[in-house]
């Protein structure tokens, strides 16, 4: 039992203690460095997320504006389409009235003396 244990010299114990303290200091430095890196990384992540949030809010606002403007444009197109339909109806009525007037003029002119024209100088 006890005879197998070799006593260590004071210098060896002092060297082991020095190496252990140096190792502990190195571990503490690495841990502090990691803590600083994690803090920096966390701050960068938060800043990155803030930028993404701001960008998402900007895109959302732009999309809402675009939808609102598109809706107004669709309403305006529908209104113009209705007006165009009314104008087409009016144009058809004008053409029909003109044809009827031309027919009336033709019939009336057949019954007037040759030098007289019912609608001379009048054109639609």
Is pLDDT at 120 greater than 70 in this prediction?
no
Model confidence pLDDT, tens digit, residues 47-82: 999 999 999 999 999 999 999 999 999 999 999 999
Q: How confident is the model at residue 21 (pLDDT cuts 50, 70, 90)?
A: very high
pLDDT, residue 110, reads: 81
Is pLDDT at 87 greater than 60 in this prediction?
yes
The mean pLDDT value of the chain amounts to: 88
Write the secondary structure of the chain as one string of H (helix), E (strand) and C (coil).
CHHHCCCCCHHHHHHHHHHHHHHHHHHHHHHHHHHHHHHHHHHHHHHHHHHHHHHHHHHHHHHHHHHHHHHHHHHHHHHHHHHHHHHHHHHHHHHHHHHHHHHHHHHHHHHCCCCCCCCCCCCC
* pTM, full prediction: 0.46
């Amino acid at each position: 039992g006890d005879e197998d244990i070799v006593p260590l010299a004071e210098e060896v114990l002092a060297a082991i203690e020095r190496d252990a303290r140096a190792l502990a200091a190195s571990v503490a430095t690495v841990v502090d460095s990691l803590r600083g890196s994690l803090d920096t990384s966390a701050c960068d992540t938060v800043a990155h997320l803030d930028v993404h949030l701001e960008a998402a809010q900007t895109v959302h606002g732009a999309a809402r504006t675009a939808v609102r403007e598109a809706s107004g444009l669709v309403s305006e197109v529908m209104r113009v389409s209705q007006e165009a339909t009314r104008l087409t109806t009016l144009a058809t009525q004008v053409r029909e009235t003109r044809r009827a007037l031309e027919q009336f003029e033709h019939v009336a002119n057949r019954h007037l003396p040759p030098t007289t024209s019912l609608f001379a100088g009048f054109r639609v």
